[in-house]
Amino acid sequence: MIKLLKYLKPYTGLVIAVVVLMFIQAMTELYLPAIMSDIIDIGVASGDTNFIFKMGGIMLIIAGVGTICAIVGCYLSSKVGMSFSRDLRHKVFTKVENFSLNEFDQKGTSSLITRTTNDITQVQNVLITILKMLLRAPLMVIGGIIMAVAQDIKLSLAIIIVLVVFLTFIVFIAKKSVKLYDTMQKKLDKLNLVLRERLTGIRVIRAFNTMKFEKTRFNKANLDLTDTAIKVNKLMAILLPLLIFIMNLTIIIVFWIGAIRINEGALLVGDLMAFIQYTMGIMYALTSIIMMFALIPRASASAKRVKEVIDMQPNIMDPEQPIRLINKKGQVEFKDVSFIYQGAEKPALRHISFSAKPGEVTAIIGGTGSGKSTLVNLIPRFYDVVSGSVLIDGIDVRQMRQEDIRESIGLVPQKAVLFSGTVAENIVFGYKKATKEEMMHAAEIAQASEFISSMKKGYNAIISQGGTNISGGQKQRLSIARALIRKPSIYIFDDSFSALDFRTDAKLRQALQKEILDSTVIIVAQRVTSVMGADRIIVLDNGEMAGIGTHKELLSSCEVYREIVSSQLSEEGIA
């Protein structure tokens, strides 16, 4: 939490202004009892009504000044707090947008989302609360002590002693309650987990008739949470009443000592009354700290998570002197490439060498975990190779700007990703140069124009977040159109036809053929039927190349390929 405060730096002046304003406000608040004591000690004692009225006027002015300070302070702290969170959000979001896939793997997408959204909001809210309210507590304490000491040192001593006791007590409770709140959060998470599993597995649960088992699990988690919640609340139950009790006892003590001091002639009655009001002011300010107990554990956890993102360094950077491709042909070459995921035990790819040429189709086949997707992810430099090199038109991708590499690649990912917006926006997706004709042409080839025109608003139809309002096959077709519109020199289809029905699949392939004639095409597939016709098939097995060649060549030379083929096709299909 504290480390994040450096983002307040541009607003240091404003923060100081807030503190000063609050201090003035606190002092005006404390000064009022002092004037009141004058009313009593001077005005009432001498029966001087004019004096009383005059003092009343002064009190109003002072209260007014205090209020103005408070309002300006509130205005400034709202602005500071929101500016802080705005800057922090910007910082985190730009940072994450520059992350490579590596960092996404490390932290997980959903975790990054929470960090950018909820976590920052959490920190922002606590910061504003601190600026608006919590800051007051120490200022009131300092101001109160100054005022008290000015009035009577001996009596002040009593207050200071009680204060120390009071603060230790608060610290003690804070420690304990923070821990309990933490446990409660964990139990709540557990209950959530049980419930989530129940919701996602409802068919299995009903099919296996295991409602009773699930019920017991839920009851246990429910009871566990309830027990902890009761414990926390019982601890908190004593806290506030006890604080008030201590405060009241303090006042009684002040009274007692005050009475003695008055008797000695060292103190005036009005002063004593003022004293009591200082004490109450200080104590009330301190009590407000308690409400932070529940907030702080959550906020500091959030702050820590945000900080982690800011501190992460993307491990893929553009070279300082990039080489620019002038004549893009799209030849892709792997030279003895090995790759290992961070923290993994075994390399995902080992000694991969091949070359994919323009005008040819290179297919990659193999089971999950064989490294197919990893391999294609190396081409746009989503990851860096560990040894060997990936070359595009003879230049190592690490010597080019990422932007330039990606400009020549059209990738259709395994899982079609669409964004909220119109169909047209999804196809064009940032490629501003595209004309309307180009867009419609791309949709035509991707076999998407038919279903698009059947939608009410056609190309202006709205796609909902995540594309939930259209089918999986339709999503995939739009995702293909998005790659086509750019006319890249390298196409990568990462298992991108899986959600298409067979007719559409065939039509799409036919239309594609003409369109991508001069490009380098790399197809990743699970099924033999979709790779059989390729110019070159690379068979991956456990990250190694088990074979490379055409369907016919591989059938006779590659054991792994034969195994895959026989598991998928009956004898007659192979021939």
Partner 1 sequence: MRNKRLNESNSSSQNKDKSKGMTKKKAKNFYGTLIRLLTYLKPRKIRLIIVGLLAILSTVFSIVSPKIMGNVTTKIYEGFMMKIRGVADAQIDFNYVFNVLGLLALLYFISFAFSYIMQYMMADIAQKTVYDMRRDVSQKLERLPLSYYDTHKHGEILSRITNDMDNISTTLQQSITQLITAVITLFGVLVIMLTISPMMTLIASITLPISIILTPIITKRSQKYFKNQQKKLGELNSHVEEMYTGHKVVKIFRYEKQSVEKFDAINKELYEVGWKAQFMSGLIMPLMNFVNKFGYVIVSVGGGLFVTKRAITIGEVQALIQYSRQLSQPILQTASIANIIQSTIASAERVFEVLDELEEISDPSPSKTIEKPRGDIVFNHVTFGYKEDAVLINDMSIHIESGQTVAIVGPTGAGKTTLMNLLMRFYDVNKGSITVDGVNIKDFKRGDLRSMFGMVLQDTWLFKGSIRDNIAYGSSNATDEEVFEAAQGAFADHFIRTLPDGYDTIINEEADNISQGQKQLITIARAILANPAILILDEATSSIDTRTELYIQKAMANLMKGRTSFVIAHRLSTIKDADVILVMNDGNIIEQGNHETLMTKNSFYSSLYNSQFVGNTIQKEVV
Q: Where in 75-114 is the site for partner 1 (CB under 8 A)? A: 75, 77-79, 81-83, 85-86, 89-90, 93-94, 96-99, 101, 104, 109-110, 112-114
Asked if 510 touches partner 1 (CB under 8 A), the answer is yes
Given the rule CB under 8 A, which of 8-16, 175-183, 385-393, 462-470 is the region that contacts partner 1? 462-470
The nearer residue to partner 1, 252 or 387, going by C-beta atoms, is 252
Contacting residue, 8, 15, 34, 59, with partner 1 by CB under 8 A: 59
Contacting residue, 328, 329, 487, 509, with partner 1 by CB under 8 A: 509
Residues 279 to 338 in contact with partner 1, rule: CB under 8 A:
none
Question: Minimum distance from CB of 541 to partner 1 (Å)?
Answer: 8
As given in the structure block, the two tokens for residue 330 are 């799209």
As given in the structure block, the two tokens for residue 568 are 């998928």
Region label for 491, one of left (φ > 0), alpha (ψ between -120 and 50) or beta (otherwise): beta
In whole angstroms, give the CA distance from residue 306 to residue 162: 39
Residues 517 to 546 in contact with partner 1, rule: CB under 8 A:
523, 526, 529-534, 541
Asked if 175 touches partner 1 (CB under 8 A), the answer is no
Which residues, in sequence order, are CB contacts of 363 under 8 Å at separation 6+? Answer: 522, 523, 524, 525, 530, 531, 534, 536, 537, 538
Residues 233 to 272 in contact with partner 1, rule: CB under 8 A:
233-234, 236-238, 240-242, 244-245, 248-249, 251-252, 255-256, 258-259, 262-263, 265, 268-269, 272
Contacting residue, 320, 503, 552, 556, with partner 1 by CB under 8 A: 503
In our burial notation (b when 16+ CB lie closer than 10 A, e otherwise), range 377-393 reads bbbbbbbebeebbbbbb
Given the rule CB under 8 A, which of 175-183, 188-196, 297-305, 325-333 is the region that contacts partner 1? 188-196
| Beta partners for residue 410, in sequence order | 491
The nearer residue to partner 1, 343 or 430, going by C-beta atoms, is 430
Return the sign of the alpha-carbon dihedral for residues 17, 4, 141, 145: negative
Question: Minimum distance from CB of 240 to partner 1 (Å)?
Answer: 8
Question: Minimum distance from CB of 479 to partner 1 (Å)?
Answer: 8
Contacting residue, 5, 9, 16, 64, with partner 1 by CB under 8 A: 64
Question: Minimum distance from CB of 104 to partner 1 (Å)?
Answer: 6
Closest CA to 482 of 491, 470, 471, 469: 491
In whole angstroms, give the CA distance from residue 171 to residue 164: 11
Question: Minimum distance from CB of 221 to partner 1 (Å)?
Answer: 9
Residues 364 to 383 in contact with partner 1, rule: CB under 8 A:
366-370, 380, 382
Residues 380 to 409 in contact with partner 1, rule: CB under 8 A:
380, 382, 402-403, 406-407, 409
The nearer residue to partner 1, 320 or 403, going by C-beta atoms, is 403
Q: Would you list the DSSP string of 278-314?
A: HHHHHHHHHHHHHTHHHHHHHHHHHHHHHHHHHH---
Long-range contacts of the stretch 336-341 (C-beta < 8 A, 24+): 336/387, 336/388, 336/389, 337/378, 337/385, 337/387, 337/388, 337/389, 337/390, 338/385, 338/386, 338/387, 338/388, 339/371, 339/374, 339/378, 339/383, 339/385, 339/386, 340/386, 341/105, 341/374
Closest CA to 247 of 289, 288, 287, 290: 287
Contacting residue, 1, 14, 19, 56, with partner 1 by CB under 8 A: 56
Asked if 192 touches partner 1 (CB under 8 A), the answer is yes
Residue with tokens 């000064």: 31
Residues 118 to 157 in contact with partner 1, rule: CB under 8 A:
118, 121, 128, 132-133
Which residues, in sequence order, are CB contacts of 150 under 8 Å at separation 6+? Answer: none
The nearer residue to partner 1, 16 or 417, going by C-beta atoms, is 417
Residues 207 to 236 in contact with partner 1, rule: CB under 8 A:
207-211, 213, 215, 218-219, 222-223, 226, 229-230, 233-234, 236
